[in-house]
Amino acid sequence: MRHVAAAVIAVCLGAACAEAAPRHGISAFGDLKYTPDFTHFDYVNPEAPKGGKIAQIGTAAMDTFDSFNGFILKGDPAQGLGLLFDSLMAPANDEPGSLYGLVAKEVDLADDRKSVTFALRPEARFSDGSPLTAEDVCDSFRLLSTLGAENIRITIKDVAACEVVGPHSVTYRFKGDRTRDLPLTVAALPILSKAYYAANDFTKTTLTPPLGSGPYKINSFKPGEYVAYGLRDDYWGKDLPVNKGRYNFGEVRYDYFRERIAGFEALKGGVLDLREEFTSRDWATAYDFPAVKDGRVLKLVMPDETPSGAQGYFFNLRREKFKDIRVRKALNLAFDFEWTNRNLFFDSYTRTASFFENSPLKAEGKPTPEELALLEPLRDQLRPEVFGEAIMPAASDGSGQDRKLLRRATALLDEAGWKTDGTLRRNAMGETLDVEFLIQSPVFERVLGPYVKNLKLLGVNASIRTVDDAQYQKRREDYDYDVISTRFSTSLTPGDELRTFFGSESAGKPGTNNLSGVESTAIDALIDKMVEAKTRDELNTAGRALDRVLRAEQFWVPNWYKGSYWLAFWDRFGRPETAPKYDRGIIDTWWYDEAKAKRIANGN
């Protein structure tokens, strides 16, 4: 019965609530799982012990760091910086699109949804003991909205103002009509110390540990090698319902390795406690060392119920050679996923087809009447394929060189004016069709190699360029590439962040996630429909319509996904019986088990 009243007490972002008043939580569509008297999230162990440590490799794409400022475009920020900063509200990882009070004890949304007021907890403190006040909240917004990285600024560009109402009360005001997600967006912004950034330049990279109010502080670090975060005994918010049973490790450490093999050997040697495996070959063949065989190291396949998003090779449409869709279609046809999956990936993956893979936002079959209602007004701006079956990547015969697909690719390149001189494709000006794949790890060469070989059979002057992490980041930010490989995903309630991936405004600004440089008023309009959606059904319908349009443009070569995480770890941790549905929950909910650790230390 504890959740029966959830819809009543929720802050309504669709139709206005009759009893509109300050509430304990906020949701994109007005429904909340947890009632005002909840004591902890269902996926935690509220009695979990505190202490011990966990050392792991973080995001596989990052192999170094040189800054503790993760809010600007400059530098390579360390992983785990989110552990340092609190926000007004915190997410529940077992329900989509909802937040509950953290620094804010209550939230009051105006009936017209043009403003939202947060009542702050007077006991909130930064790690130096100074109080966290409304002045800090609004100054954080000022810094992020004017000096922050473009990906941050785009999502809050329709926030008109942050106003200090009192020492412990702030009001955000919004402009325009697409305000559904803005209350959640501002509620999730990190809160920075106004006094600290009055004395420290927010626009500069730094290796001085910043002042935060979150559960951890930086204990020690060595640039490019490791950063260790220590749990604060004096953390002001440790007993709040949103934090109970969370942040259990006394130390959370991220180690950096230039090569995957070095990271794997660190796990084997006990330097790392946990490693997420991203290479199917290693998962299938490499975990046969003694500690796995005798049970000291466990392999865990954990379900991943979050949207898998889009992984693929993205063409840079800012370059003239990729503007003709026939060229993009031809390059798509040369990638043999079926051969790659069988011969390189041990049949571990499924082909990605959608930009919202593994979610209700994925378009399938022909458009529904509801989707057509959104697409028909844009018909003159859309490709005819949008109105048929959702575009799917071509399936090959698995030979590695499907002649039927390569013949289709040849015809498309001929039609596009790229004629072969017997060896290479050239246009009317005699320029060769050069396609360079930018990567940052030699590991990907084995996957790209067969694809590049097929492109060369077509007469494409294809090549692979491997650069170090710093060069890769710089070229990515400046869009200095032909083709780049990436994976990105959205939440189950995507909104303004879609503008950073596909919005016209982001195409010409450095450092956004719009890697292909997509510019389309039709796509912008469909993103608006997603942001304006009043119900989840409306959101899913608009998402499927947008997915059709994006897929029809074929500005990427879809790769693969799997609906699970591959984890290997030394058996010295405890885990809640129920895992969070939409997160791995490792740093968030696991804990160090002294008894298990002693058993392993004794070789048992």
Q: What is the model's pLDDT at position 20? A: 53
Q: What is the pLDDT of residues 481-490, one digit of tens each?
A: 999 999 888 8
Superfamily of domain 216-305+563-601, CATH level 4: Periplasmic binding protein-like II (3.40.190.10)
Q: Residues near 431 by Cβ (< 8 Å), separated by ≥ 6?
A: none
The enclosing H or E element of 201 equals: none
Match 């006990």 to its residue by tokens.
Answer: 270
Query: What is the model's pLDDT at position 443?
Result: 82
Alpha-carbon radius of gyration of the chain: 25
Please tell me the pTM assigned to this model: 0.87
What pLDDT, in 10s, does the model give residues 163-183? Answer: 999 999 999 999 988 899 999
pLDDT digits (tens, 9 = 90+) for 398-411: 999 999 999 999 99
pLDDT at 62: 65
pLDDT value, residue 271: 94
89, 26 contact by CB (below 8 A):
yes
Largest Cα span, the chain: 75
- The answer to whether residues 180 and 495 touch, using CB atoms and an 8 Å cutoff, is yes
- Long-range pairs, 406-409, Cβ under 8 A, ≥24: 406/333, 406/334, 406/454, 406/457, 406/458, 408/330, 408/333, 409/329, 409/330, 409/331, 409/333, 409/334, 409/458
The CATH number that domain 311-561 falls under is 3.10.105.10
The Cα 272–Cα 55 span in angstroms is 5
Report the candidate in 212, 225, 234, 458 with the shortest Cα–Cα distance to residue 330: 458
Q: What is the model's pLDDT at position 154? A: 93
Pairing of strands 573-574, 591-592: antiparallel
| Closest C-alpha among 92, 106, 103 to residue 28 | 92
Domain locations in the chain as residue ranges: 6-38+58-199, 216-305+563-601, 311-561
Pick the CATH number of 6-38+58-199 from 3.40.190.10, 2.40.37.10, 3.90.1150.10, 1.10.8.60: 3.40.190.10
Q: Given the structure tokens 């529904």, which residue do they identify? A: 368
pLDDT band at 535 (very low <50, low <70, confident <90, very high): very high
Contacts of 603 (CB under 8 A, 6+ apart): none
Express each pLDDT in 106-118 by its tens digit.
999 998 889 999 9
Over residues 406-428, the pLDDT tens digits come to: 999 999 999 999 999 999 999 99
